[in-house]
Structure 1
Amino acid sequence: MLPNRSLSRKLKIQSLCSNHKQQSSLCASFSASFSSSSRCRGYDDTIPNLKIGKHTRVIFQGFTGKQATANAKESLEWGTNIVGGVKPGATGEHLGLPVLPSVRSAMEQLKPDATGIYVAAHQATAAIEEAIEAEVPLIVAVAEHLPLHDMMRIHSILSTQSKSRLVGANAPGIISAIGKCRIGFQPLPTFSPGHIGIVAKSGTLSYETVGSLTRAGLGQSLCIGMGGDVIAGTNFVDALKVFETDEDTEAIIIVGELGGTAEEEAAEWITEYKRRTKNPKPIAAVIGGFQAAPGRVMGHAGAWTGLGEGTSESKYRALENAGVTMVDHPAKFGSVMKDILAKSGSNFKKMEQSLAQQRRSFHSSSSPLRPQASRSTPLNTRQQRSLHLSVEQNATILKNYNINTSPEPDQLPKSTHFVGITVARSARSPCIIAAPTANPHQLPHRVRRYPFDYRSGPSQSAIKSALQHLQLDSAPVSSKAAIVKLINSLWTMYKEKEAITATVSLALSSENDDLIIYDSDLLFDDAAFKSCKRQQDIHSLRNLTLLAPTDLEAEAAGIMYIPLETPASLKKDGKEPRNLIGTLVNGAGLAMNTNDVLTLRLLKNPQSAYPPTTSANFLDTGGKATASTISTSFKLLLSDPRVSVVFVNIFGGLTLCDMIAEGIILAFKEVGVDKPVVVRLRGTNEEAGRRVLEQAKLPIRAFDEFEEAVREVGRLASGVEAKTGVTEEGDLDEVLV
């Protein structure tokens, strides 16, 4: 669990102060490199650049590419003011708009307010840097799998200037429904102009949120995709500052998930905002990841809980304590926002839109149960990534950097310590991580982070603060010097080998004060190799024999598949149940939330009409799923003997609902589906997807509404027969027989 609020605030202040010192020292060097403004202010000064609208002039980097072209056509038809684009070294015309050879020339001739970067991951960081150098006010990067070290270097540049603001990476982008300005790949038919601002980590959960509002007759003002990367160019607090002063925004929605501390920081900001504001705008939120597998990265690169970071439960609690209205699924936001806006006295004649053709019946259920993590908290486990190596491999790597490790001593001194290098997400930089105990996983509240600039390495002040926290003030001078050398050596290895985390435990010998280094833990960024083909020597150390066949098959298909541990309450005499739910979802955030809600409705709900059950797995097909991907997903799900029913929950953005439907049909042909299948399709091409399923004449139960689909999944998993009918209100009425 997180430290208490006052301690959390203290740590945040320490981090901000450290960043301010770094900013001052780096101002001159940045000006020399990028010809920035003469007065170096700060990255926070770029927050107003997020307020896009009709006035926003947009360019595309990678303008002539296939995806950029298709996206630009849609955005232009919708009303986005795209004024041209960039193709390196080329000039000409595309879609009737000018193509220029560089971002700088585009800035000079087209004078854009924003750029959308539509290039592959291995080109994206160079494109972002080019846009910063040209001082484009708003830079939107949608690509995922950008190497972490590339992004830390980018943020070290951003932190020392006050011209350019970044949204992303690994984000759906930013969109103004009122101003008809889209910079990203959001599903346009879902959006409608209105007065509710949204900021989200998850793309699919943000689309669910938007769809719920639109069906309820409430449109959106500005929607900011924070994105699911380890480090976000724009976070919740940045977006909240925009919504606070935006005249078009009358209410706010936050969509969060496990990983980092951005939600807790948002809760602190909201508490202060409500304290200083007479009539604060109402705020609602949803958090995903309560049922996340311990120690696993849940789809998004940043969806994992680091040492001392909060769980989904602590994020939920922090926002709830700040007076935020919490929901358990974004489909509820429509009715919830209507209710809280009515109570706040908002003018519904102004808020409601003429959206009758887009509205659907909205199922309003009773107050949600408080989400709870039913599986063990991830704080006590270490992250499992493709490049998490063995102790022996770690020792060999560290030895090459003059760090000699040894087995843990049989008799440890009373004073043990934990130190290393990792990422400070809020500071958007690397940091020294330290704890005055060799067991920080059991005592996470003792963990501290001391950020430093990526380009200059650990600062003297950061090292001094870390040593003080390690409680080594009275250690011999030689021992302190050895620890300083260790920190710098770890940093050298960390940077050269592109690690995410590099930590060791250490103790001072009671006999001669020698430094004993043991229990090394190295975690490397697989995106560096997969996207940019760097670190091949590290990547080659992967031991594929340790991976299950399903893991290898999922990886080859670009699927994130994680079997979940069966809750103890469902095991009878130690035996695994045979009534769990196989989930197939597009988007990591939606996949996490689907598992959360299944647990709430079907496992922890005392009013459930069916025997208890829950999800058997996390499965994210990814944003670019194909029919073949869906077929492979079914194969993975049905290989689990615990699964009795398959639940396909799709909200289409880039993923097309008709393509998903074709994949389901392909699975019936190729895999031989012998379990009931429940499908819920929303979003891009949803009507076409339903037609495909209807015409196939297969035993598939299709639903529009999420809650109806969940009830049917629960019924099928229980093996209870039912008669079904539809009430006048449009809700599924089930009569057990």
Structure 2
Amino acid sequence: MLLRQVHCPRKPSSLGATRRFSTTSPLFLYRDTIQNLKIGSHTRVIFQGFTGKQATANAVESRAWGTNIVGGVTPGREGVHPVLQDLPVYPTVRSAVDNLKPDATGIYVAAHQAAGAIEEAIEAEIPLIVAVAEHIPLHDMLRIHSMLKSQSKCRLVGANAPGIISPLGHCRIGFQPLPAFSPGHIGVVAKSGTLSYETVASLTRAGLGQSLCIGMGGDVVAGTDFVDALRVFERDEDTHGIIIVGEVGGMAEEEAAEWISSYHQNTPNPKPIAALVAGKIIKPGYVMGHAGAWAGRGENSADEKYRILRDAGAVMVDHPSQFGRVMEKLMGSKESQPQPKPMKSRRQYHTNALSSGFLRPSAGTALPHFDQSQRQERRALHYQERQASAMLESEYNVSTVRPPASASPRNAWILSLTIDRSKREPCFLLMDANPESTEPPRRIPVDRNSTGIIHTALGFSDVELPELVQLLFALENIFYKYEAVAVEIHVALTNDGGTRLWIYDPRITFDDAAFRSCGRHEALHASRKVSREVIDPAELDAEKDGIVYVKLGDQDDPSYNIGTLVNGAGLAMNTVDALALPPHNANAANFLDTGGKATSETVKKSFALLLRDKRVKVVFVNIFGGLTLGDMIARGILLAFGELGLEERGIPVVVRIRGTNEEEGQRVLRESGLGIWAFDGFDEAAAKCVELAKAREEEERDN
């Protein structure tokens, strides 16, 4: 029986009517477009949103570096670019394609416009589409992926990705910090932008450059995944070594491990592969910055992913700064490497330290009233439980009960309509509710056969099929109508000899990007306060400023004493992970991601959040800039010192700034006259944090 599809709402103004796209032959699949990832000096690039401030700045820099930008698109405009006056601007993607014959497009538009822009690029059959925007609603991207899977012309990188860059071919489609990159023979694929920057900087310092770096991105579903990238690297003669940078969430790392294992078995002289997995220390039920950085039902932890990749033959590291040394050893002689100019290496400097025992630093449709300028750049999973029961009862006549005492774990199941991240589509997920069960969850496609498959798998042979049909119909309609990430219930049979199906513990998990980016489902978002969700007030305050802040550990445990302030979700996760590992063996009090577009004001507000946690004895600022500028971060730190009274509070601050404008940022701190410990290397900075935190605890005990 085929369940009725309820399509997610979309804005007619941004997405338009349904468009046609190429379906050349069923023999050609989306996976056959991976060759489109091999960019270089030959790649003709256009920008969508070409005359916007961000696109203009990026185009000027990328073009000066060597990227072959041939023009772009801005709806309603035609002529030449106001800054790049030798480059044409077209009002539509189709007219740009007809005139410029591009090989790739970089999409530089806001999240609420991005899905429509991607759809236009697919319709125009541009071979490579790079989407950098964060916070594109999940269901918009599911629709895009259903289009991509039915054609063989276009390949998507992203969304929520730094893009793709070929240092060998001097082609950048994204916002990667160019000083970190150098031409060479190592291919890099990463979920996290900031961790990929750390990775390539480590390689460059070791005298090892990069052939091609692909940003998989941190969304729930990605246009290009690890296996896609590995297939490119395997065939690419310019790539002699490979790096994978993963994180918690999804199964892309496990699929990469399976590919690596097969590659090693079937290849006489395999290219060396090293890897990292961030997110070993997380707070269950929370999104750790990236939209996809959370472990769903039946998914492995970051620790388990680490082990699986290691067992498959990847050489594992705990921090991206280690990749240079590891790959230098794996690659052997560097004589075949184009020799890049080494990045400048600095040791610590300390400005104006005082002489005390520790450092005293001196559902619906678009809402007409929704103001896009007030969008919050925060993404989270929200859980609704009472609301879920009410929806099932009132809208679909599905009765829920309290967890029945007669339902033992052995005859209870968890049934969910959620996302199959690997197949980039919705699926039913069925798993034994017994926590001791070793049976893996089963993912069942949403199609005409799903009802029968689920009925058989449950083993509830006496349950009438219409009862299950009604339940699945309700789950599917709620999933699409409210743009959910998952709609979950428990099911069990009565133990009294009857055949009644108990339905209990319903739960909706929804991604709030549809509301925050596009203004949809305002009522559902407002009802968040009636859920069981318990959030620290500081975490809620952080959301208002676009900051992702998650408290870690027992709130009464003083060992969680290092406050972390980081730009980028992957780097923030790895900072927390690396602090906990030997030789530091320390506990971060929090995860804090300022976001990829942090400002001085954001940094000041981040400091204010950290200082609300009385456990914090030292603040560790770890920044690697792409869009975030090092000098801007430095000025934010100085702003925090002045307005928050850090000097009077006597809280040490350790800063590590790398990436864009790092020299200027370090100069600002050095010349500030304030007591700030600044470092170039992570391990030195982390060791100083541990030292200062212990010193401050000792002084507090003495006083």
Q: TM-score, normalised by structure 1?
A: 0.84
Cross-structure match for 2:60: 73
CA distance in 1, matches of 2:390, 2:29: 41
* 1:652-731 correspondence to structure 2 within 5 Å: 652-673=625-646, 674=649, 675-719=651-695
Q: Give how far 1:109 is off.
A: 1.1
Q: Give how far 1:402 is off.
A: 2.5
CA distance in 2, matches of 1:295, 1:525: 12
Relative to structure 1, the CA distance from residue 418 to residue 549 in structure 2 (aligned partners, 3 Å threshold; closer, same or farther) is: closer
Over residues 254-286 of structure 1, what are the superposed CA-to-partner deviations in whole Å (9 max), with x where a residue is unaligned?
000000010010000001011111100000011
Alignment match of 2:248 (pick from 227, 248, 258): 258
Q: What code does the residue aligned with 2:337 have?
A: M
- The alignment partner of 1:348 has SS state of coil
Q: Give how far 1:556 is off.
A: 1.1
Task: Indicate whether 1:554 and 2:539 are aligned.
Answer: no
- The alignment partner of 1:505 has SS state of strand
CA distance in 2, matches of 1:550, 1:217: 43
Q: Give how far 1:56 is off.
A: 0.4
CA distance in 1, matches of 2:491, 2:576: 39
Contact 2:36–2:128 at 8 Å: present in 1 too? yes
* 1:399-548 correspondence to structure 2 within 5 Å: 399=393, 400-412=395-407, 415-435=411-431, 437-439=432-434, 443=437, 445-451=439-445, 458-472=446-460, 474-476=461-463, 479-509=464-494, 510-543=496-529, 547-548=535-536
Q: What code does the residue aligned with 1:672 have?
A: G
Task: Indicate whether 1:90 and 2:77 are aligned.
Answer: yes
User: Any runs of at least 4 consecutive aligned residues in structure 1 with deviations exceeding 4 A, and if so which?
Assistant: 384-387
CA distance in 1, matches of 2:205, 2:43: 28
CA distance in 2, matches of 1:354, 1:61: 32
Contact 2:560–2:588 at 8 Å: present in 1 too? no
Contact 1:623–1:655 at 8 Å: present in 2 too? yes
CA distance in 1, matches of 2:617, 2:63: 46
Q: Give how far 1:353 is off.
A: 0.8
CA distance in 1, matches of 2:340, 2:173: 25
Q: Give how far 1:34 is off.
A: 2.2
Over residues 190-231 of structure 1, what are the superposed CA-to-partner deviations in whole Å (9 max), with x where a residue is unaligned?
111010000000000000001011111111000000000000
Relative to structure 1, the CA distance from residue 502 to residue 76 in structure 2 (aligned partners, 3 Å threshold; closer, same or farther) is: same
Contact 2:553–2:560 at 8 Å: present in 1 too? no
Contact 1:579–1:718 at 8 Å: present in 2 too? no
- The alignment partner of 1:332 has SS state of helix
Q: Give how far 1:232 is off.
A: 0.6
CA distance in 2, matches of 1:107, 1:36: 19
- The alignment partner of 1:423 has SS state of strand
Contact 2:402–2:505 at 8 Å: present in 1 too? yes
Over residues 528-553 of structure 1, what are the superposed CA-to-partner deviations in whole Å (9 max), with x where a residue is unaligned?
00001111121120218954321222
- The alignment partner of 2:617 has SS state of strand
Q: What code does the residue aligned with 2:65 have?
A: W
CA distance in 2, matches of 1:86, 1:666: 39
- The alignment partner of 1:123 has SS state of helix
Q: Which moved more, 1:114-123 or 1:39-48?
A: 39-48
Structure 1 vs Structure 2 CA RMSD: 2.2
Q: What code does the residue aligned with 1:401 have?
A: Y
Unaligned runs of 5+ in 2: 1-17, 349-377, 699-703
Q: Give how far 1:389 is off.
A: 4.1
Q: Give how far 1:416 is off.
A: 2.2
Q: Give how far 1:664 is off.
A: 0.4
CA distance in 2, matches of 1:332, 1:35: 44
CA distance in 2, matches of 1:361, 1:705: 8
CA distance in 2, matches of 1:148, 1:267: 26
Relative to structure 1, the CA distance from residue 671 to residue 404 in structure 2 (aligned partners, 3 Å threshold; closer, same or farther) is: same
Relative to structure 1, the CA distance from residue 623 to residue 57 in structure 2 (aligned partners, 3 Å threshold; closer, same or farther) is: same
Relative to structure 1, the CA distance from residue 386 to residue 217 in structure 2 (aligned partners, 3 Å threshold; closer, same or farther) is: closer
- The alignment partner of 1:249 has SS state of coil
Over residues 74-124 of structure 1, what are the superposed CA-to-partner deviations in whole Å (9 max), with x where a residue is unaligned?
111011001110112331111121111211221111110000000000000
Alignment match of 1:51 (pick from 22, 33, 38): 38
Q: Give how far 1:624 is off.
A: 0.7
Cross-structure match for 2:614: 641
Contact 1:40–1:160 at 8 Å: present in 2 too? no
Q: Give how far 1:410 is off.
A: 2.5
- The alignment partner of 1:388 has SS state of strand
- The alignment partner of 1:223 has SS state of strand
Relative to structure 1, the CA distance from residue 181 to residue 564 in structure 2 (aligned partners, 3 Å threshold; closer, same or farther) is: same
Contact 1:649–1:679 at 8 Å: present in 2 too? yes
Relative to structure 1, the CA distance from residue 603 to residue 693 in structure 2 (aligned partners, 3 Å threshold; closer, same or farther) is: closer
CA distance in 1, matches of 2:594, 2:436: 34
Alignment match of 1:138 (pick from 93, 103, 128): 128
Q: What code does the residue aligned with 1:87 have?
A: T
- The alignment partner of 1:272 has SS state of helix
- The alignment partner of 2:565 has SS state of strand
Contact 1:174–1:222 at 8 Å: present in 2 too? yes
Q: Give how far 1:359 is off.
A: 4.3
Q: How many residues align?
A: 642
- The alignment partner of 2:588 has SS state of coil
Relative to structure 1, the CA distance from residue 599 to residue 398 in structure 2 (aligned partners, 3 Å threshold; closer, same or farther) is: same
CA distance in 1, matches of 2:97, 2:59: 19
Cross-structure match for 2:352: none
Relative to structure 1, the CA distance from residue 336 to residue 446 in structure 2 (aligned partners, 3 Å threshold; closer, same or farther) is: closer
Relative to structure 1, the CA distance from residue 442 to residue 624 in structure 2 (aligned partners, 3 Å threshold; closer, same or farther) is: farther
Contact 2:379–2:513 at 8 Å: present in 1 too? no
Q: Give how far 1:351 is off.
A: 1.2
Q: Give how far 1:601 is off.
A: 3.0
Q: What code does the residue aligned with 1:395 have?
A: S
Cross-structure match for 1:16: none
Relative to structure 1, the CA distance from residue 339 to residue 387 in structure 2 (aligned partners, 3 Å threshold; closer, same or farther) is: closer
Relative to structure 1, the CA distance from residue 620 to residue 444 in structure 2 (aligned partners, 3 Å threshold; closer, same or farther) is: farther
Over residues 111-163 of structure 1, what are the superposed CA-to-partner deviations in whole Å (9 max), with x where a residue is unaligned?
10000000000000011111111111000000010111111111111111111
Alignment match of 2:188 (pick from 177, 198, 218): 198
Contact 2:137–2:514 at 8 Å: present in 1 too? yes
Over residues 322-367 of structure 1, what are the superposed CA-to-partner deviations in whole Å (9 max), with x where a residue is unaligned?
111111100011111111111xxxx4222151414x242799xxxx
Q: Give how far 1:444 is off.
A: 6.8
Q: Give how far 1:180 is off.
A: 0.5
Q: Give how far 1:242 is off.
A: 0.1
Alignment match of 2:382 (pick from 368, 385, 388): 388
Cross-structure match for 2:353: none
Cross-structure match for 1:650: 623
Contact 2:181–2:210 at 8 Å: present in 1 too? yes
CA distance in 1, matches of 2:282, 2:257: 22
Cross-structure match for 1:111: 101
Q: Which moved more, 1:233-242 or 1:91-100?
A: 91-100
Unaligned runs of 5+ in 1: 1-30, 364-383, 452-457, 568-574, 605-612, 723-737
CA distance in 2, matches of 1:323, 1:548: 41
Contact 2:286–2:381 at 8 Å: present in 1 too? no
Contact 1:56–1:113 at 8 Å: present in 2 too? yes
Q: What code does the residue aligned with 2:403 have?
A: E
Relative to structure 1, the CA distance from residue 708 to residue 46 in structure 2 (aligned partners, 3 Å threshold; closer, same or farther) is: same
Relative to structure 1, the CA distance from residue 126 to residue 669 in structure 2 (aligned partners, 3 Å threshold; closer, same or farther) is: same
Contact 2:189–2:244 at 8 Å: present in 1 too? yes
